[in-house]
Amino acid sequence: MAKRVLIITYYWPPSGGSGVQRWVKFAKYLPSEGWQPVIYTPENPELTAIDKTLSAEIPPEVEVIRRPIFEPYGIYRKLMGKGAPTDIKKVLDGAGTASGPAVAAASGGEVTPIRSGSKTWKQRLSLWVRGNVFVPDPRVGWVRPSVRFLKKYLKEHPVDAIVTTGPPHSMHLIGLRLSRATGLPWISDFRDPWTKMYYLKHLGLSKRTWRRLERMEQRVLDGSSTVLAVTPLVREDFQARTRTPVAMITNGYDREDFSGPAPDPDGFFNIVHTGLFASDGNPHTLWKVLGEMVSDDPEFADRLRLRLVGKVDREVFESIATAGLKENTVPLGYLDHASAVREQRGASILILPLRNDPEYRPILPGKLFEYLATRRPVLGIGQEDGAMARILSETGAGTTADWQNETAIRTFLESAWNAFRQPSGLPPVTGDIARFERRALTASLAGLLDSLRDGK
């Protein structure tokens, strides 16, 4: 008889974006490891990106329970009007940005960064309310009815373990109360940090709210049977703050997504970026170097294509145009996951700029692992001693250059261009990435669940 695990997640198909894929893929492969997933998710969530193709990933034996949720976005939209900046909405969302889905603004999908001094009084009020009223996030109103429903459900439909995944971190409050009430082992899965997430400093949190948030986080860390982190730096931070065991299972790639033939070469030097491209991760130095290469080399100018998949901020497009790259740019907008993977596989090189914020150092974007699966060279822009730099170095998949490191960026691009022009073309990356394959990661998760079930 299959063991059953209750997975409490805000994001589930038809919601799209990278934030949903971690547990869709776990649910896909857990049955083959002897665990039947039972998904508990909102019936009417705020759908910021839609990807209907992900539903095909879910095996028929996965049970999905949907319950209504109230979210305060109607009030927010009335207050802000159609020009609501996306990053402010994202922060109001409490969804995080490292692994959460791309969010389209009502004004057409721009991603406006939050800068001190640049906010209207309505934006400042919205952020203050988000930070100090909806603690830890706007989904907190779902906690009490969910606990009440699930306590009744579990009496009639027992499970062997509970998993909550955040952000939004209010999901962990459901797990905390449910685990206390039932005695079931509970894994709190953190796709992003909580109190050390970079955007919290923009919320205008009072000292009282900060203390409340920190107490919530500590209760979750201490009350979990196991805490699950997705990066080594987050794992180290959590383990220093709790006696609860902290395990790490990174995000990854699904080999089946990359099993078909790659697109045929089209003769262009395709630099590809997929996913949300926010202006506070706008790689000005990269555009400058590419613009100079276009100006200096007519062949490069003729063959360069910047293929951008997903929501791209207006300021990013403006920087590209200023660098003289407008004619080389192919904006593709939001694509479903399968189409985005095809674009990744057709790249000459992939670029992965992180947000220019010191607190982003421990973050591993989910798309990094799909980039690895393409076996195409990756140019990361971010902290040269951060979590992403560590993975790219260990796998030999590419280089991480600081935002202003013009020498490193130019060296990488010129080397890739020169290799591209050879008869054999750019060679594939050959490093070991097997540990990031979704089946292997799911086997690790199943082993963790087995240990908790057996009381080890």
267-295 burial code (b ≥16 CB/10 A, e <16): ebbbbbbbbbbbbbbbbbbbbbbbbebbe
Give helix 170-182 / helix 143-156 axis angle, nearest 10°.
Answer: 40
Sequential DSSP letters for 307-364: EEES-B-HHHHHHHHHTT-GGGEEEEE---HHHHHHHHHT-SEEEEEPPS-GGGTT--
Q: DSSP letter at 13?
A: T
How far, CA to CA in Å, does 247 sit from each of 27, 75, 128, 234, 368?
A: 19, 39, 34, 10, 20
Architecture of the structural domain at 3-70+137-252+438-453: 3-Layer(aba) Sandwich (3.40)
Name every residue whose Cβ is closer than 8 Å to that of residue 288 and which is 6 or more positions away in sequence: 323, 406
Residue 220's identity, in one-letter code, is V
pLDDT for the residue 259: 87
Closest to 374 measured CA to CA, from 430, 296, 297: 430
Q: Is 286 within 8 Å of 352 (Cβ atoms)?
A: no
Burial category of 450 from C-beta neighbours within 10 Å (exposed 0-12, middle 13-18, buried 19 and up):
middle
**What local confidence, expressed as pLDDT, does residue 78 receive?**
57
Composition of the chain by helix, strand, coil, percent to 5: 45, 15, 35
Equal fold, 3-70+137-252+438-453 vs 256-420: yes
Which sign does the torsion angle of CA 165, 169, 175, 176 carry?
A: positive
Q: Which parts of the chain sit beneath pLDDT 50?
A: 83-117
- Res 112: pLDDT: 37
Give residue 64's Cα distance to chain centre.
Answer: 22
Q: What class has domain 256-420?
A: alpha beta
- Within 13 Å, how many C-alpha atoms sit on residue 390's CB side? 11
What is the pLDDT of the chain when averaged over all its residues?
Answer: 88
pTM for this entry = 0.85
Q: Which residues make Cβ contacts (< 8 Å) with residue 339, sequence separation at least 6?
A: 309
Residue for token pair 């973050």: 363
The β-bridge partners of 370 are none
DSSP 190-245: ESS-STT-GGGGGS---HHHHHHHHHHHHHHHHH-SEEEESSHHHHHHHHTT-SS-
Q: Give me the sign of the Cα torsion angle 74, 78, 83, 86.
A: negative
Q: What is the DSSP letter of 30?
A: T
Give every strand in the sheet of 3-8, ordered side by side. Answer: 63-67, 35-42, 3-8, 161-166, 186-190, 226-229, 246-248
Query: How many other C-beta atoms can be found within 10 angstroms of the C-beta atom of residue 316?
Result: 24
- Length of the chain as a residue count: 456
From residue 200, alpha-carbon distances to 247, 278, 318 in Å are 25, 17, 28
Reported as a single tens digit per residue, the pLDDT across 126-155 is: 777 777 788 899 899 999 999 999 999 999
Name residue 179's beta-bridge partners.
none
Q: Name 261's Cβ contacts closer than 8 Å, sequence gap at least 6.
A: none
CB 314 within 8 A of CB 438: no
Extended strands (E) in 104-211: 161-166, 186-190
**Does a cis peptide bond (omega within 30 degrees of 0) precede residue 168?**
yes
Q: Where are the domains of the chain?
A: 3-70+137-252+438-453, 256-420
Are the CB atoms for 244 and 219 separated by under 8 Å? no
- CA dist 232 and 247 (Å) reads 9
